[in-house]
Amino acid sequence: MKRPAKTQRSRKGLSLWSRGFRPFFLAAAVWAVAAIAIWPPFFTGEIQVPTAFSARDWHVHEMIYGYGSAVVAGFLLTAIPNWTGRLPVAGWPLIFLCALWLIGRVAVLLSASIGSVAASLADSAFLLVFAATVTREVIAGKNNRNVKVVALVLMLAVANAGFHFEAATTGTATISARAGLAIIVFLILLIGGRVVPSFTHNWLAKRGIAERPVPFGESDSIVMVLSAVALLLWIADPDRYWTGGLLFAAGTANLWRLFRWRGWAIRSDPLVLVLHAGFFFAALGFLFEGVHAFRAEIIPSAVGVHVWAVGAIGTMTLAMMTRATLGHTGRELIASNVTQLIYLAVVAAMLARVTMEFLPALMLLLMYAAAIAWISAFAGFIIVYGPMLAGPVGKRG
């Protein structure tokens, strides 16, 4: 017979392996620091990395499928038990998933030595096993509402495998890189579209403010469909006029959604405001990519890509990582001064990286400035939140 849930929940063990957000958020932050510390000297040829990927492809892959997949895993492994009422994946199964993720990072880094096929198999294993895990949990919990999230994880796993295949057969992985970025951006629109108005509503309700965010409705569903179509066209053919038109329309529509969530009313709470900022950057990326499709000589594609990758993904993931860590380890949901500096640092990284596209004479200086700002943000997260992730739950947890 199975042990009662209460008994299982009270089992002893290292706190680090008790919930998915703990090891995966910590691993994501460590890799965010390490991978970006390697990137500028790798790009300029000052150091050699034994990867079969080009410098650009390695950087893109490890930010999207390395860092990004770890944050997605940490978030979903923590959220799904709340959605389904099932026990969280913990202990040895969680250790196994983390080991697969780590093996993937090492395999990609050493792929020139171990061979592209072995590296692709080792790296693809994590997302495939993780996709199977979340599929099992959502189906077993009869949580049909979140099947779409499972579908996106499966798509991310397929896109990762496609990245290896495309790089091996064509020499670069531009389509798979866009696919991975688009999937995570869509996850931000989907999950952010729930949590941003929800946390804003809770904050306003707690303070007795009558006006609240507009709840999700049919118009939001239409915007999500529009965004999905625009992203699909961007993956397949980013420079066409019709792609640009749909991207611009999707960006404008998502800004309209964000406006309806009353972000200005919670400006005194950085922990909620940063969620609005992350969603804003997601919408802004659509606009920049849309303008690029019409006037590539004015707005390089890398502008929109890095507004998405550094601004939207960097800001939103740090926002969720800090909030989830505070809430699930029993701390007050308050952004300390250091936490606010972490948020500002990742925005500074985005600004430096985007400015680099317009000031080519300062390319290396701005690249290193962006890297230092990004590293500062995630090193700050490790220093402040690492002990919380590895330590016991507080009284409120």
Helices (H), 260-336: 270-294, 301-306, 315-328
* Cα-based angle 327, 74, 353 (whole degrees, multiple of 5): 95
pTM for the whole structure: 0.93
Cβ count within 10 A of residue 375: 18
Contact (CB, 8 A) for 149 and 224: no
Mean pLDDT taken over the chain: 93
Task: Pick 9 or 171 by higher pLDDT.
Answer: 171
Q: What sign has the CA pseudo-torsion 254, 255, 259, 265?
A: positive
Confidence of residue 98 (pLDDT cuts 50, 70, 90): very high
CB 192 within 8 A of CB 316: yes
Distance CA 123, CA 45 (A): 25
pLDDT class of 7 with cuts at 50, 70, 90: very low
How much is the average pLDDT of 220-224?
96
Q: Does residue 378 carry a pLDDT above 60? A: yes
pLDDT band, residue 171 (cuts 50/70/90) = very high
Cα–Cα nearest to 101, from 126, 69, 136:
126
Domain boundaries, the chain: 17-172, 185-397
Both tokens of 276, joined, read: 């609005």
Q: What is the rounded distance in angstroms from the CA atom of residue 273 to the CA atom of residue 319?
A: 9
- Whether residue 76 is predicted with pLDDT greater than 50 in this model: the reply is yes
> What's the pLDDT score for residue 32?
98
- As a whole number of angstroms, the distance between CA 284 and CA 325 comes to 27
pLDDT of res. 395:
47
Q: Who has greater pLDDT, 96 or 3?
A: 96
User: What's residue 143's pLDDT?
Assistant: 82
Domain 185-397 coded CATH 1.10.1200.10: no
Q: How far apart are CA 173 and CA 154, in angstroms?
A: 19
* Cα 57–Cα 60–Cα 63 angle in degrees, nearest 5: 145
Q: Which two tokens stand for residue 304?
A: 């929109």
Is the pLDDT at 70 greater than 90? The verdict is yes
pLDDT, tens only, 135-149: 999 999 888 888 999
Phi, psi of 54 (to 5 degrees): -65, 165
Q: Which of 280, 302, 272 is nearest to 363 (CA)?
A: 302
Report the SS3 class of residue 83. Answer: helix
